[in-house]
Amino acid sequence: MPRPALKICGLRQPEQALAIAALGVEAIGVIAVPSSPRFVEPAARRNLFTRLQQAHPDCLGVVVVADPGEADLAALAAGQGHRVLQLHGGETPQRCGELRDRLGVRLWKALRIRRPADLDRAAAYAGAVDALLLDAWVPGQLGGTGQRLPLEWLQGFSAPMPWWLAGGITAEALAPILAGVQPQGLDVSSGVEDAPGVKNLARVELLLQALQRASSPSSPSPGQA
């Protein structure tokens, strides 16, 4: 099968983001949720993404937010270094469409899945977002928990747009995950961390190697979402 794209999320230091991008990941995520231990201030985000774009222009810069208000939008619009806005709150399809039109960036919407029926929500976002991200529902947490969705819930799942899988993805767990589901992308944070926001480059490299082994070497990499 085609190799899924890989996003490493929750970066805080530009040097580490550049080192991980150099390994060949397709996207780097930075957290803009103040309550998160991986939170990065707007000015520091711009610096990280500017350096990332200069050194690795093919690597997508992704800002992760939750229910942004009017006061937040200026720092989330195009021109701030990132190319993707990833929403982790209760944003409706209507709100997502509005934000994509206003901000001029690609929009990914995270759906926290508590039960199999929650997957039915995916269809409502057709035309409002560029991609979906599926993550396990954990009380009081918006993401980065390392909890994995039951793979049997995803059997036969299809979405009207590209979708990414998050939660519990490591080099050791990758083969059974990809044997059961075929997302267009994988979103990884705690699975390659030594501490919140501090990534282990050796784990990232092992994950990339496992991803290559689990994918057909003759298949081309998928296009960006």
CATH number at residue 167: 3.20.20.70
Q: Is 122 exposed, middle or buried (0-12, 13-18, 19+ CB in 10 A)?
A: buried
Amino acid 220 reads P
- At 136 the pLDDT is 83
Task: Indicate the average pLDDT of the chain.
Answer: 90
Is the Cα dihedral 46, 211, 3, 22 positive or negative? positive
| 221 located within any domain | no
Token pair of 14 as six digits: 């530009």
| 160 located within any domain | yes
| 189 located within any domain | yes
Q: Is the pLDDT of residue 218 over 80?
A: no
Task: Return phi, psi of residue 69, to 5°.
Answer: -95, 180
| 78 located within any domain | yes
Query: Could you give the CA distance from residue 152 to residue 164 in angstroms, rounded to a whole number?
Result: 16
- pLDDT-based confidence at residue 223 (cuts at 50, 70, 90): very low
- At 216 the pLDDT is 60
- At 17 the pLDDT is 98
Residue 166 has what DSSP assignment? E
| Position with higher pLDDT, 214 vs 194 | 194
3-class secondary-structure state, position 185: strand
The secondary element (H helix, E strand) that includes residue 213 is: helix 201-214
- At 138 the pLDDT is 58
- At 99 the pLDDT is 96
Q: Mind listing the pLDDT tens digit for each residue in 135-190?
A: 986 545 555 556 777 888 888 888 889 999 998 899 998 988 898 888 999 999 98
Query: Could you give the CA distance from residue 106 to residue 84 in angstroms, rounded to a whole number?
Result: 5
| 119 located within any domain | yes
| 187 located within any domain | yes
| 223 located within any domain | no
- At 156 the pLDDT is 81
Tally of domains in the chain: 1
Q: Mind listing the pLDDT tens digit for each residue in 22-54?
A: 999 999 999 999 999 999 999 999 999 999 999
Please state, as a whole number, how many other Cβ atoms lie within 10 Å of the Cβ of residue 148.
Answer: 17
What is the span of the domain harbouring residue 60? 5-214
Q: Mind listing the pLDDT tens digit for each residue in 56-65?
A: 999 999 999 9
Q: How far is CA 179 from the centre of its chain?
A: 21
Q: Mind listing the pLDDT tens digit for each residue in 3-16?
A: 899 999 999 999 99
- At 145 the pLDDT is 54
Q: Considering only 85-89, 155-159, 173-177, 202-206, which range has the smallest mean pLDDT?
A: 155-159
3-class secondary-structure state, position 139: coil
Q: Please name which of 77, 75, 30 lies closest in space to residue 52, comparing C-alpha atoms.
A: 30
Helix segments in 1-150, DSSP class H: 14-23, 42-55, 93-103
